Amino acid sequence: MNLRVLVIDDHTLFREGLEGLLSRRGIEVIASVGDGETGIRLAKELNPDIILLDMRMPDLNGLEVLARLNESGLKMPISMLTTSTEERDLVEALRSGAKGYLLKDMEPDSLVVALRDIKQGKTVVAPTLAPVLAKVVQGNTSSWDDEKKPFEDLTPRETEILGLLAEGQSNKVIARNLGISDGTVKLHVKAILRKLNIHSRVEAAVLAVEHGLKDSQKS
């Protein structure tokens, strides 16, 4: 699968190194730019398969560029590629529509696999950030906006499973804890994603964290 990637990052040496790294693995960097405004313009002109976007940039930061790209109606997936392991950056990026949150110190082959998964419609978070997401789940979520919970259409069982997803539990662990089969858990997860209009377990977990689902289920 040939991938055409647009890189938006203000560090010239990093951009050039990334371009060489990806090209050696069969991924074409169709443009590599150092500022958000140029990146937005080229995204519209070149229609890349994926946009790789730095988080920390002068003028427009990564989240601002992400918002502008989404507002423009472009449909290609956008992934953050950053050094930031901050909880709020991770959650805010995914909440704002990023389909990936990848780290600049990832192994090259892992980055390539992640890009191909994102192109296939998956949401991918760098594996080393699993503890960060878990910390968000376990921490104080009172600072997030107290919006109406979007879980009204879920059954009690689906709500229970969503809370366990937010804790990072696998289907097998959830099945064991609830005394049901793996297949039944998979069906519930599919129903949860459909009802919430999202596409991955990561998005479901982040949504549950944002709205304090885990805290609300504590007795």
Q: pLDDT tens digits for 44-57?
A: 999 999 999 999 88
Q: Residue 203: in which H helix or E strand, if any? A: helix 201-210
Q: Are residues 27 and 106 in the same domain?
A: yes
Nearest to 52 by CA among 106, 88, 1: 106
Asked if the structure places residue 135 within a domain, the reply is no
* Count: domains in the chain: 2
Q: What is the pLDDT of residues 122-165, one digit of tens each?
A: 888 888 887 776 666 555 444 444 444 567 788 888 888 998 88
Q: What is the pLDDT of residues 56-88, one digit of tens each?
A: 887 888 989 999 998 888 889 999 999 988 888
Q: What is the pLDDT of residues 80-119, one digit of tens each?
A: 999 988 888 888 888 888 999 999 999 999 999 999 999 9
Q: Are residues 42 and 120 in the same domain?
A: yes
Q: Which of 97, 128, 159 is the last residue of a domain?
A: 128
Model confidence at 196, pLDDT cuts 50, 70, 90, reads: confident
Asked if the structure places residue 134 within a domain, the reply is no
Which CATH number belongs to the domain containing residue 187 in this structure?
3.40.50.2300
Q: Which of 73, 102, 128 is the last residue of a domain?
A: 128
Q: Are residues 13 and 114 in the same domain?
A: yes
Q: Are residues 15 and 105 in the same domain?
A: yes
Query: What local confidence, expressed as pLDDT, does residue 174 receive?
Result: 92
Considering only residues 188 and 219, tell me which one the structure prediction assigns the higher pLDDT.
188
Note down the domain range covering 61.
Answer: 3-128
Residues 6+ apart with CB under 8 A from 76: 43, 47, 48, 49, 50, 51
Q: Are residues 57 and 161 in the same domain?
A: no
Is residue 4 helix, strand or coil?
strand
Q: Are residues 144 and 117 in the same domain?
A: no
Structure-token match 């594996």, residue found: 127
Q: Which of 107, 128, 149 is the last residue of a domain?
A: 128
Q: Are residues 78 and 145 in the same domain?
A: no
Asked if the structure places residue 133 within a domain, the reply is no
Could you tell me the pTM of the whole model? 0.65
Whether the pLDDT of residue 20 is over 70: the answer is yes
Q: Are residues 33 and 96 in the same domain?
A: yes
Asked if the structure places residue 208 within a domain, the reply is yes
Q: Are residues 123 and 29 in the same domain?
A: yes
Q: Are residues 105 and 57 in the same domain?
A: yes
Q: Are residues 119 and 185 in the same domain?
A: no
Asked if the structure places residue 70 within a domain, the reply is yes
Model confidence at 18, pLDDT cuts 50, 70, 90, reads: very high
Asked if the structure places residue 71 within a domain, the reply is yes
Rounded CA-CA distance 142/157 in Å is 25
Residues 6+ apart with CB under 8 A from 27: 2, 3, 5, 112, 115
Q: Are residues 156 and 192 in the same domain?
A: yes
